[in-house]
Amino acid sequence: MNFFRDQEIAKKKTRKLVVLFLASVVATGATLTFVVGYIFEVYMQSNTRGAYEPIDMWSNVDKHFLLFLVVCITILMATFYKILNLGKGGDYVARLLGATPVKRANSDPDLKKYINIVEEMSIASGCPVPKIYIMEHETSINAFAAGYEIDDCIICVTRGAIEKLSRDELQGVVAHEFSHIFNGDMKLSIKLIGYLFGLLILTQVGRVILQSGRYRTRSNRGKDGNGIVFVGLAFFIIGGIGYLLGSLIKSSISKQREYLADASAVQFTRNPFGIGGALLKINKLIEGSTIMANKAEEVSHLFFGAPMKMSFASHPSLENRLKRIYPKKKWEEIEKMEVKYPEKRVQGPEKEKAEVNDIFNNDALKIATAGTVLSSLADRKDHIGEITEVNVEAAKNILNSIPFSIKDKIQTTDGAKQIILSFFNGTSEFRDSWRFAIFEVALGTLRELSLQEKKEFIKKAKKLVLEDQLITPSEFIHYYIVKKMLLEDRGFYEKKISKSEAESSLLSLVEFTRGGLNNDSFKFKPSEIAKALDTLSRGSLSVKERVLNKLIEVVNEDERISVLEEEFIRLVCQGFRVPFPL
């Protein structure tokens, strides 16, 4: 897997999708214009006395062209409206489906299992810890990831998934969803929803016209409403055909992305029985992966499993997916494979605290997590967008080795605020191998805050940073990423940068990296570095890859990587929306 290559492939697929969609819009608009124009001409002739004359569609070509423009603009406006709303982030999609956010300070053992898995996968991959949601009233096994970029994504599972799946199986499902994030599928999925909504709007217009025509026909007891009824039928039927064609495109794209995500989940976890067991349970359960939420069909391709039994082929069949996961087994053998359901666990906070302390006191684990850097930066750069079993195990060990007193803090918003602020006032004395994990989990917890609370926290953090009238490189790096992750306004369109802007911004970053990361007295202009980072974050994937290569080269010049240099590279990647693995 190559993150930059896969993202480029996703972009090419998106461009092809745009071409296909525009072709569908033109074809639908032209067909509808012809049919409605023909109905209009027939209706006009039936109300004109005199001899019958052949219908001439070109006699009112200006009016027909106007209708064509109105139809196309209506579809495009509806599409843009939907994509704009979905582009607000994964929270919008989660709320659309009735999902509720999961508070990290939680005593439910099933939810704790879910939270721990998401945090482990995030730390292992370098992806910002996402907001976590649950569809509390859904007893089936399903999940989805949603968002426009990796820094505004959410992960959501059903209550049935966390109760009926073992830890390995739930990890396989979460790995599948993380794969969608890394492969650029989320943005593609959002555009698919928008395009289908635009085509579907014609059927809604047709329904309104039909209701109006029927009312006029009944009230006038004559032919006046008949023409309107036929126009309404034309909108309804042709709009439905356009939606059907769009669904075929969605089906083709969605199936391939699901196969890829399944394969990636096996690659990430090195355990086919994880995701395989989850799919097998869906196949055996009566409720399967069915979702009862009203809007499930609209976003069907986002889900791990087909949310509707009558859904229009948004997913490959379970048989085909399981055959790919277990290629050496026949379907009859796969169906007979035994599944086990986890026992309901009831665990109080004291028992959990004892378990965590037992893990923390394990000498072998202390040794395993003592290193500042688990592998070289250059090696990890080559594996951006990948999660391996080794990465996940290392992340799990790091998180488990954090003392309960600290872990308890970062799971509440008040405690997370204190932890984040300690990175600005020099009071954080965490073990080197804990620092990034603690910072990331605390930042993930702060995503639970309201917008106003986030603004107030950023204001407090800025005041603390400026308190001694000296901004150190460490304070700047952490403040910049906190502000970017919590408050960045993600526009629908980002202006591309020029080559000269990229070069000058890169020079500023190189100078800062070479002179400032290990020298608190280094003179630099925070506004200049922030501008350079903001500019490069809008660059193409090739620009980001070149910048990252250069920064790693600079960091490696003295053949020694400090903790701050390690953090800087990872946080720059977050600003670039590039997941840098552990």
CA dihedral sign of residues 190, 192, 195, 201: negative
Using alpha carbons only, give the angle 486, 553, 481 rounded to the nearest 5 degrees: 5
| Inter-residue contact 546 to 505 (CB < 8 Å) | no
SS3 of 51, please? coil
Which strand ranges, in their side-by-side order, compose the sheet holding 131-135? 100-101, 131-135, 154-158, 143-146
Number of Cα atoms under 13 Å in the Cβ half of residue 302 = 30
CA dihedral sign of residues 385, 387, 392, 398: negative
| Inter-residue contact 9 to 257 (CB < 8 Å) | no
Residue 542 sits at φ, ψ, to 5 deg, of -65, -35
Nearest Cα neighbor of 417 from 362, 460, 384, 377 is: 460
d(Cα 158, Cα 164) in Å, to the nearest integer?
10
User: 350: which residues sit within 8 A by CB, 6+ positions away?
Assistant: none
d(Cα 143, Cα 176) in Å, to the nearest integer?
9
Structure tokens at 128: 């910002």
Q: What is the DSSP letter of 303?
A: B
| Inter-residue contact 150 to 579 (CB < 8 Å) | yes
Indicate which residue of 177, 386, 565, 566 is catalytic. Answer: 177
Q: SS3 string of 422-478?
A: HCCCCCCCCCHHHHHHHHHHHHHHHCCCCHHHHHHHHHHHHHHHCCCCCCCHHHHHH
User: 435: which residues sit within 8 A by CB, 6+ positions away?
Assistant: 428, 563, 567
Structure tokens at 548: 């990252």
Active-site residue flag, 177? yes
d(Cα 294, Cα 288) in Å, to the nearest integer?
17
If 0-12 CB within 10 Å is exposed, 13-18 middle and 19+ buried, where does residue 534 land?
Answer: middle
| Inter-residue contact 377 to 556 (CB < 8 Å) | yes
Nearest Cα neighbor of 403 from 433, 445, 360 is: 360
User: 476: which residues sit within 8 A by CB, 6+ positions away?
Assistant: 465, 524, 526, 529, 530
User: 199: which residues sit within 8 A by CB, 6+ positions away?
Assistant: 24, 25, 28, 75, 239, 242, 243, 245, 246
Nearest Cα neighbor of 390 from 379, 403, 378, 404 is: 379
Catalytic residues: 177
